C-alpha cells in the first residue's frame, strides 16, 4: 500500500493486512463484518472473532491516519474501501487502459503471497482470488498472443503467458509452431518435451492433448522429410481489426461465394458494388465455420455461349451457398437488395434483405451496409443450417451437423427439446473434442440450464460451464464466437464481469460484426453498473441485426438496462416485446416484473408473476438476490425491491 508520494505503509499484523486485502479486492462494494470475522477467525467463538475484528479495524484506522482514513468506511454491519483517491492495482490490471506484452509481467507474482496460512477460510478465499487473478492475466496474454504476426513476437508472448500459466497448451503449441515456421524443428521438439514434462509434473496424470500430439507429429515429419515449414494460423489483430485474409476452405466450414454485385440504372457507381462485395467477403471470413470463396460473375443471359459454358452456380456448385445482390441509385438514394442462395437446394433463397440508404459518404455507407449485411447473414445462417440438418434424416452425423442441429432448440427453450440439444452438443464434442465453438455453445447451454431453473444441481452446471469456457478459449484464442460465449458465462454465472468485458473486447476486435458479442458485452457493462455504455452496446447489436432470430434476447437485455437507469416505462415496453417473441424465456419475466413493480402496475405484474412461477415454481425474492449478477449493491437493491413491489414471494 502506497500513498500519492510513493511511500509504503501497511498494518503491522498479518490479519489486519488480510482484512485490508479483502476490502480492497471488493472495493467499492461493502463487506459484511460477520463475513470478515468468519474469514479471518473461523476457528474462534463468534464473540472472540468480533472482538478481534474490532481490533483490526482500529489498527487499520491508525495506519491510514487522518489523510486516508476517509477512504475507510465503517458502519454497524459493513466495512468498505471507497473514494476518489483509492486505486487498487489488481482491479486496474483487470481492465488495463493499454495492453502490452510487458503488462504480463505484473501477473507473474503470486497474489498476496505473504498472507498464505492465516486461516483455513481465508486460505480458501485467497485461492479463489489468485485463480481469478491468473485467469485475468491469462485472458490478456491470450489476446496479445492472438495479435502476434511474426514467429519471434509469438514466442515472446507465449513465454510470457506460460510464466502466468505453465499448463497453457495453446501457448506451448504457439512456440512449437513458431520454431517450426522459422526452420528450427529441433527447437520445436525440445519445446514439446518441456510441455510434456510440465504437464506430467502437474501430478494429475495430464498428458499433451490430441491437438498438441498432432502438431508435433507434423513437425517431426517436416524435420525428417525436409518439406517446407508448416503454416501458422492467420493472426488477427486484437485491437483495431485489419482487413482479414479469406479463410481457406476446410471440411467443416460452410463455403460461401460472394457474387459480383450487379448495378441497375445509369446513375449507380460501380465502385460501391466492388467495394461492398470485398467488404462483405472480408466480414464473413471473420466467422469461424465460414469459408469465403473468390467472387464469381453471373452468366450473361444475353450471351448464350457464355451462359452455356458457365451455367448457373447451382448447376455445378463449388460452394454451399452464394450471396448475390443488386444496387440501384436514384436521386441521391441507394437501394441494395441481397439474397443468400442455397446452391445445395437448386438456388433456393435462404435469406433476403432490402436496404435503403441516403447516398452520402461513400466509404461510410460501404462500412455501414457491409457490417449490417454480414451480421444478419451470420444469425440467419445458423438458423437455416440448423433447420436444414434437422430436416435431413441421417443415421450418422458429423460433429458440425450435430452442433447445427442443436442450435435451434437452444433458443426455443422448450424443455424436452432443450435437453435433447444438450445431448447433441455432448455428442458433437465426443466426435470432435478440439472444437472451440462447440465448447462455447455447450457452456452457454449450461448457463441457460441454470437460468431457467431446470438444473437439479446448479453448482455442478456452473462448474461445468466454467470448465467448458476455459477450454474453449484455450483451444482457439482467436475464435470470436467462443470468446464472447465464454465472456457471458463468466459475467452471468461466475459474477466476474470485468473478465467478461476483456473477452468481449477481444471478440469484437476480431469480429466487429457479431451482434451477439455487442449484446453480451452490454450485459457485462450493466452488471458492472455502467448502464449508459451497456445501452449503447445493446442498441448497436439491434442496429446490426434488427430482424435477428434471437432479437427477444436483445429486448431482454434492454429491460435490464432500462430498469437500472430508472426508465421503467421503456423497461416495461421492452419486456412485453421480449415475452411476445419468446414466452418461455424465464429471465425476461424477472427484470420485467421488477419494472412493473416500480411502475405500480400491480394487475399486470400479477399476471406476469403467475406465468413466471409456472416456468420456475421455486422463484423468490431471496433466490433472486442470491443469483443477481450485479456488482453494485444499489443495483441489486433496485432489482429485488421491484420484485417485492410486484408481489414476488
DSSP code per residue over 256-270: EEEPPPEEESSS--H
Single out the residue of 98, 169, 113, 112 nearest to residue 138, CA to CA.
Answer: 169
Q: Strand pairing partners for 293?
A: 257
DSSP codes joined into one string, 307-343: HHHH--GGGS-SSSEEEEEEEEEETTEEEEEEEEEEG
Q: What is the pLDDT of residue 53?
A: 94
Tens digits of per-residue pLDDT, 57-106? 999 998 888 877 788 999 989 999 988 777 777 766 766 556 666 677 77
Whether 179 has a pLDDT exceeding 80, the answer reads: yes
Single out the residue of 325, 335, 266, 315 nearest to residue 295, CA to CA.
Answer: 325
Q: What is the pLDDT of residue 424?
A: 92
Measured CA to CA, the distance from residue 443 to residue 245 in angstroms comes to 29
Query: Where is pLDDT greater, at 327 or 203?
Result: 327
% of the chain with per-residue pLDDT over 90: 32
Instruction: State the average pLDDT for the chain.
Output: 83
Whether 235 has a pLDDT exceeding 60, the answer reads: no
Measured CA to CA, the distance from residue 527 to residue 632 in angstroms comes to 8
Of 114-123, 200-209, 304-313, 439-448, the one with minimum mean pLDDT is 304-313
b/e per residue, 560-596, with b = 16+ CB within 10 A? bbbbbbebbebbbbbbbbbbebbebbbbbbbbbbbbb
Tens digits of per-residue pLDDT, 522-554? 999 999 999 999 999 999 999 888 877 778 999
Residues 1, 8 contacting (CB under 8 angstroms): yes
With cut-offs at 50, 70 and 90, classify the pLDDT of residue 357: confident
Cis peptide before 28 (omega within 30 of 0): yes
With cut-offs at 50, 70 and 90, classify the pLDDT of residue 303: very low
Q: What is the pLDDT of residue 227?
A: 42
Tell me the mean pLDDT in the region 123-130. 87
Q: What is the pLDDT of residue 560?
A: 97
Phi-psi region at 112: left, alpha or beta (left = phi > 0; alpha = psi -120 to 50):
left
* Strand bridging mode 321-330 / 254-258: parallel
Find all residues with CB under 8 Å of 405, minimum gap 6, and list them: 386, 389, 390, 397, 424
Tens digits of per-residue pLDDT, 499-527? 899 889 988 888 888 899 999 999 999 99
Measured CA to CA, the distance from residue 539 to residue 545 in angstroms comes to 10
Tell me the mean pLDDT in the region 227-248. 38
Q: What is the pLDDT of residue 95?
A: 62
With cut-offs at 50, 70 and 90, classify the pLDDT of residue 293: confident
Q: What is the pLDDT of residue 566?
A: 95
Of 34-48, 129-143, 387-401, the one with minimum mean pLDDT is 387-401
Of 210-214, 299-303, 583-587, the one with minimum mean pLDDT is 299-303
Q: What is the pLDDT of residue 344?
A: 83
Q: What is the pLDDT of residue 499?
A: 86
Amino acid at each position: 500500500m502506497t500513498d500519492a508520494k510513493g511511500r509504503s505503509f501497511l498494518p503491522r499484523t498479518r490479519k489486519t493486512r488480510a482484512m485490508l486485502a479483502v476490502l480492497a479486492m471488493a472495493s467499492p462494494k461493502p463487506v459484511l463484518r460477520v463475513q470478515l470475522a468468519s474469514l479471518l477467525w473461523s476457528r474462534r467463538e463468534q464473540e472472540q472473532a468480533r472482538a478481534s475484528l474490532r481490533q483490526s479495524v482500529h489498527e487499520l484506522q491508525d495506519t491510514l491516519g487522518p489523510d486516508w482514513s476517509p477512504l475507510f468506511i465503517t458502519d454497524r454491519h459493513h466495512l468498505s474501501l471507497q473514494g476518489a483517491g483509492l486505486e487498487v492495482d489488481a482491479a486496474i490490471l483487470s481492465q488495463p487502459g493499454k495492453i502490452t506484452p510487458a503488462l504480463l509481467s505484473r501477473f507473474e507474482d503470486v497474489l498476496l503471497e505473504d498472507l498464505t496460512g492465516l486461516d483455513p477460510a481465508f486460505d480458501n478465499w485467497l485461492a479463489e482470488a489468485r485463480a481469478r487473478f491468473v485467469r485475468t492475466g491469462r485472458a490478456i496474454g491470450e489476446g496479445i498472443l492472438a495479435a502476434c504476426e511474426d514467429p519471434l513476437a509469438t514466442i515472446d508472448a507465449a513465454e510470457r503467458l506460460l510464466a502466468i500459466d505453465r499448463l497453457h497448451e495453446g501457448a506451448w503449441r504457439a512456440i512449437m509452431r513458431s520454431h517450426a515456421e522459422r526452420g528450427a524443428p529441433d527447437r520445436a521438439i525440445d519445446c514439446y518435451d518441456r510441455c510434456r514434462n510440465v504437464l506430467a509434473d502437474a501430478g494429475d496424470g495430464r498428458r499433451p492433448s490430441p491437438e498438441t500430439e498432432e502438431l508435433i507429429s507434423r513437425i517431426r515429419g517436416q524435420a525428417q522429410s525436409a518439406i517446407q515449414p508448416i503454416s501458422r494460423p492467420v493472426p488477427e489483430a486484437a485491437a483495431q481489426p485489419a482487413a482479414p485474409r479469406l479463410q481457406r476452405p476446410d471440411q467443416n466450414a460452410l463455403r460461401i461465394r460472394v457474387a459480383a454485385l450487379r448495378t441497375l440504372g445509369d446513375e449507380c457507381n460501380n465502385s460501391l458494388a466492388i467495394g461492398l462485395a470485398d467488404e462483405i467477403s472480408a466480414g464473413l471470413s471473420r466467422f469461424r465455420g465460414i469459408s469465403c470463396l473468390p467472387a464469381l460473375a453471373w452468366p450473361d443471359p444475353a450471351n448464350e455461349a457464355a451462359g452455356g459454358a458457365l451455367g448457373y452456380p447451382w448447376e455445378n456448385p463449388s460452394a454451399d451457398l452464394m450471396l448475390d445482390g443488386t444496387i440501384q441509385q436514384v436521386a441521391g438514394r441507394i437501394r441494395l437488395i441481397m439474397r443468400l442462395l442455397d446452391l445445395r437446394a437448386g438456388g433456393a433463397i435462404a435469406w433476403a434483405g432490402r436496404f435503403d440508404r441516403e447516398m452520402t459518404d461513400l466509404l461510410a455507407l460501404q462500412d455501414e451496409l457491409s457490417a449490417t449485411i454480414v451480421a444478419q447473414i451470420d444469425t440467419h445462417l445458423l438458423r437455416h443450417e440448423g433447420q436444414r440438418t434437422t430436416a435431413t434424416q441421417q443415421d450418422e452425423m458429423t460433429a458440425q451437423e450435430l452442433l447445427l442441429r442443436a442450435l435451434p432448440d437452444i433458443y426455443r427453450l422448450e424443455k424436452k427439446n432443450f435437453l435433447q440439444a444438450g445431448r447433441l452438443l455432448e455428442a458433437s464434442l465426443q466426435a470432435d473434442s478440439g472444437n472451440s465453438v462447440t465448447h462455447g455453445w455447450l457452456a452457454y447451454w449450461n448457463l441457460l440450464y441454470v437460468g431457467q431453473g431446470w438444473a437439479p444441481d446448479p453448482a455442478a452446471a456452473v462448474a461445468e460451464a466454467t470448465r467448458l469456457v476455459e477450454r474453449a478459449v484455450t483451444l482457439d484464442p482467436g475464435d470470436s464466437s467462443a470468446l464472447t460465449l465464454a465472456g457471458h458465462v463468466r459475467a452471468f454465472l461466475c459474477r466476474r464481469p470485468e473478465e467478461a468485458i476483456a473477452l468481449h473486447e477481444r471478440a469484437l476486435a476480431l469480429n466487429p460484426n457479431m451482434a451477439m458479442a455487442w449484446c453480451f458485452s452490454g450485459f457485462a457493462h450493466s452488471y458492472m453498473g455502467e448502464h449508459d455504455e451497456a445501452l449503447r452496446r445493446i442498441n448497436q447489436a439491434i442496429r446490426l441485426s434488427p430482424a435477428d432470430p434471437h432479437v427477444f434476447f436483445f429486448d431482454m437485455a434492454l429491460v435490464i438496462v432500462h430498469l437500472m437507469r430508472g426508465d421503467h416505462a421503456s423497461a416495461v415496453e421492452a419486456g412485453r416485446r421480449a415475452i411476445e417473441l419468446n414466452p418461455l424465456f424465464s429471465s425476461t419475466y424477472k427484470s420485467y416484473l421488477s419494472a412493473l413493480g416500480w411502475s405500480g402496475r400491480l394487475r399486470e405484474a400479477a399476471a406476469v408473476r403467475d406465468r413466471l412461477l409456472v416456468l420456475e415454481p421455486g422463484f423468490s425474492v431471496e433466490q433472486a438476490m442470491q443469483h443477481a449478477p450485479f456488482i453494485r449493491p444499489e443495483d441489486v437493491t433496485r432489482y429485488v425491491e421491484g420484485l417485492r413491489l410486484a408481489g414476488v414471494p
